[in-house]
Structure 1
Amino acid sequence: MKHLFILITAFLLITSSCKKAKKYTTEPKHISFKNTLDIKRVDENISIPRDKIISILDSIPKNRVPMMKDSSGKIIPFQLDDLEKNGIWDELSLTLDFKPNQLLDLELTTIATESIPSFTPRTNIRFGIGTNKTNVREVLEQKRIGDPRTNDSIFYQMEGPAWENDKVGFRFYFDPRNGIDIFGKTTSGLVLDRVGLGEGNYHELDDWGMDILKVGNSLGAGALAIKKNDTLIRITGKDQAEFKVIAEGPIRSIFEMTYENSKIGDQRINVIHRITIWKGQWGYQNEVFFKGITDQMKLVSGIVNLKPNKLYSKIVENYHALETYGPQSENNDALGMAIIVPKEDFIDNGEAPKEKADIVKTYYTVMNASNKRPTAFYFLSGWERSHQQFKTYNGFEKMIINTIERLSNPILIQ
């Protein structure tokens, strides 16, 4: 009987040991990314839907979130974005570097929410509001009606919301001009939290860069208008405009400008302009959502034409590019700007009048507009003081073509 007890005990110990061994030798989950191009790709932006991650992990334990490790065990910087604003993250975003034709395999696992590392911030949204420079506070949402420039008790840092990454920055005029301006940067650091608050003038060259664009009554650096028949009508938000941050983090930042009941001739439409800026890119992404748009209305975005430049227009792979290049910065040095539109949505290019119109001195692109799906396009900028490759048009064009090749051949997630 004693021997039987010993055998049973030994069997239980062996079984228990096997179970424990099995628990700790479980095969790790993996996710792969394929670069289908024969070129090096740096800071390739990737977003992975929640459902895709769960399908690989089977489930995500409570109070834990997914993360990825490279072959050395290093955690890849990432962020989780709640795009629907329902308290549950929808997408995991990250940027990866690829060699030509590389298949990159990463371990996919989870980490406790409170243990997520602090990653170096590479994108930023800033909207500072106060009564003067000394009492500005940052807001994540803001509404306006009419023209706030008539109210002396309101001070907008940088005249409205601004956004940046480690390459370039931009700002919106939060008033019926509704133009977009460019901050050329000479540093990879994030600087817009302090720009416009000190003694310096951001229209003059500083240690971080400067405002490099004069917008006037143009569409500036990618602002929106509607072309109804043959008339250009600026989306002003005069009746109502709302700014709202959707996501902000080390990999990408997203915000929306909402214009309800925008008057287009004798009709009114609702417009949502969603802007995304990714780490490592020379511009920003646009998605424009419509409600009430008609067949006579088309979406327009433009590039200011105030200073000497050359105009270029081309189709590369799946995209159309409208480009300007020349000594058109406010520092009177080389600046290239471009609007990149999918071929399926591109209709035509045009040029606004020089004067005697609401929108003037603008090269523009006409795009499809639909109530059923958003219209997407990209605005890119290359200033010679940001990178020496932009000292020539060939260098600027190389960046445009590289961007289009990457957009036309997205990284495959396996």
Structure 2
Amino acid sequence: MKHLFIITSIFILIISSCKKTEKHTIKTKYISFKNILDVNRTDESIIISRDKILSILDSIPNNKVPLIKDSSGKIIPFQLDDLEKDGIWDELSLALDFTSNQTVKLELTTIARESIPSFTPRTNIRFGIGTNKTNVKEVLKQNRTGDPRANDSLFYQMEGPAWENDKVGFRFYFDPRNGIDIFGKTTSELVLDRVGLGDANYHELDDWGMDILKVGNSLGAGALAIKYNDSLIRITGKDQAEFKVIAEGPVRSIFDMIYKNSKIGERNIDLTHRITIWKGQWGYQSEVFFSGVTDDMKLVSGIVNLKPNKPYSKTLKNYYALETFGPQSENNDALGMAIIVSKEDFINKGEALQEKADIQQTYYTIMSASNKKSTAFYVLSGWEQSDQQFKTYNGFKKMIDNKIERLSNPILTQ
């Protein structure tokens, strides 16, 4: 009996030891990112597809989501975005810093969805609607036809959807003007939830910044038009326009402006203007999807030319840039604006001067428009009150050149 006890004990110890060994030999999974430039890069935007993550982890339990940690075990702020709105996340987004030529190796694991830590927000979308300044609620989706300015009982905070990060903010006029304005910021805090409410006037300098752009009848800072038969036709959304939030989080925020039945010549076209703003960037990305365009229709976007400025244009690496710089802010100090588009999509540039035209006082870029693929471009802004580097054109130019260099040499996922 004693010998049986000893044999049984040894067997249990062997089994236990095997289980411990098995537990310790579970392989840690990693994902790496490489900076191929010989310069430091801050807040570099990173997107990892669901398929890429599954190829590394093999599978993800139903009650868990992916998680990324650095070499010290610290969780890196991230978000999971359901771009298709089908209840399943499509992409994991994060922002990383790199030294020159650095490869960053990160641990890829999983965590229960309810255990995801709370990260400091660095991007924001705000569309407040109500009857007056004291009666406003935020909406994530809103439709319009005609001109809502004719409805005296309808109040739009900031006149339409607004978006921001820790550097700069923007707003859409949610009416047929359909222009885009700029909020210059003097703080990294997210402020647009409260702007346009109470007694403060966002056209005057406040502790957070101010509205720094006079848009008039221009395209402002990146609004859309179609060039057709030598005419510029503004996308107004009179027949049907829809605002819809796609994603909002600590790393990036995305929303769509969807336009139905926009009349161009004898045809009606549909287009979706998807706007993405990332943390740490001096602007936003536009991606435009088309349905119904013909070969004689081209996409146009532009920047306002209402106040003293000097225009610049250049081709650098894989991109074309249209820039302006001068004392053109509503604070009468230095403001630089730029549109960057890939050489593949860029066609030409122009300037809208006619006083009686629908689109006036605008420097613009002409880009490709196709039913088969989207067209992307970037809108950047640098105000001297936000950062002293923008007091001079050379400082603004350095930021633009850096952006183009980064776009031309994306971070490699390994």
Letter in 2 for 1:126: R
Matching residue of 1:392:
392
Letter in 1 for 2:143: K
CA distance in 2, matches of 1:182, 1:26: 51
Matching residue of 1:296:
296
CA-to-partner distance for each residue in 1:94-142, whole Å, 9 max, x for gaps?
Answer: 0000000000001111111111110000000000000100100000000
CA distance in 1, matches of 2:296, 2:354: 25
Matching residue of 1:69:
69
CA distance in 1, matches of 2:398, 2:229: 35
Task: Return the offset for 1:7.
Answer: 2.3
Matching residue of 1:266:
266
Matching residue of 2:217:
217
- For the Cα contact (< 8 Å) 2:134–2:198, is it kept in 1? no
Q: How does 1:267-286 map to 2 (within 5 A)?
A: 267-286=267-286
Matching residue of 2:95:
95
Matching residue of 1:124:
124
CA distance in 2, matches of 1:252, 1:322: 25
Q: How does 1:321-400 map to 2 (within 5 A)?
A: 321-400=321-400
CA distance in 2, matches of 1:285, 1:249: 16
Q: How many residues align?
A: 414
SS in 1 for 2:134: helix
Letter in 2 for 1:323: E
CA distance in 2, matches of 1:74, 1:282: 27
SS in 2 for 1:53: helix
Letter in 2 for 1:285: Q
CA distance in 2, matches of 1:150, 1:104: 54
SS in 1 for 2:258: strand
CA distance in 2, matches of 1:374, 1:174: 23
SS in 1 for 2:80: strand
> What percent of counterpart residues are identical?
80
* Greater Cα offset, 344-353 or 54-63: 54-63
CA-to-partner distance for each residue in 1:171-200, whole Å, 9 max, x for gaps?
Answer: 000000000000000000000000000111
Moved over 2 A (4+): 1-9
CA distance in 1, matches of 2:259, 2:120: 34
Letter in 1 for 2:204: E
Task: Return the offset for 1:21.
Answer: 2.7
Letter in 1 for 2:38: D
Matching residue of 2:405:
405
Matching residue of 1:27:
27
- For the Cα contact (< 8 Å) 2:191–2:208, is it kept in 1? yes
Task: Return the offset for 1:2.
Answer: 4.9
Letter in 2 for 1:75: I
CA distance in 1, matches of 2:17, 2:78: 37
SS in 1 for 2:254: strand
* Greater Cα offset, 8-17 or 285-294: 8-17
SS in 2 for 1:13: helix
Task: Return the offset for 1:8.
Answer: 4.4
CA-to-partner distance for each residue in 1:292-345, whole Å, 9 max, x for gaps?
Answer: 000000000000000011110001101000000000000000000000000000
- In the alignment, does 2:145 pair up with 1:152? no
Gap regions ≥5 residues in structure 1: none
**RMSD between aligned residues:** 1.0
Task: Return the offset for 1:14.
Answer: 1.2
CA-to-partner distance for each residue in 1:73-109, whole Å, 9 max, x for gaps?
Answer: 1100000000000000000000000000000001111
SS in 2 for 1:136: strand
CA distance in 1, matches of 2:6, 2:230: 94
Normalised TM-score (structure 1) = 0.99
SS in 1 for 2:238: coil
Q: How does 1:103-118 map to 2 (within 5 A)?
A: 103-118=103-118
- In the alignment, does 2:234 pair up with 1:253? no
Matching residue of 1:41:
41
- In the alignment, does 2:168 pair up with 1:179? no
SS in 2 for 1:33: strand
Matching residue of 2:135:
135
Letter in 2 for 1:218: S
- For the Cα contact (< 8 Å) 2:239–2:262, is it kept in 1? yes
CA distance in 1, matches of 2:62, 2:130: 41
Matching residue of 1:199:
199
SS in 2 for 1:73: coil
Gap regions ≥5 residues in structure 2: none
Task: Return the offset for 1:24.
Answer: 3.2
Letter in 2 for 1:409: N
CA distance in 1, matches of 2:293, 2:272: 12
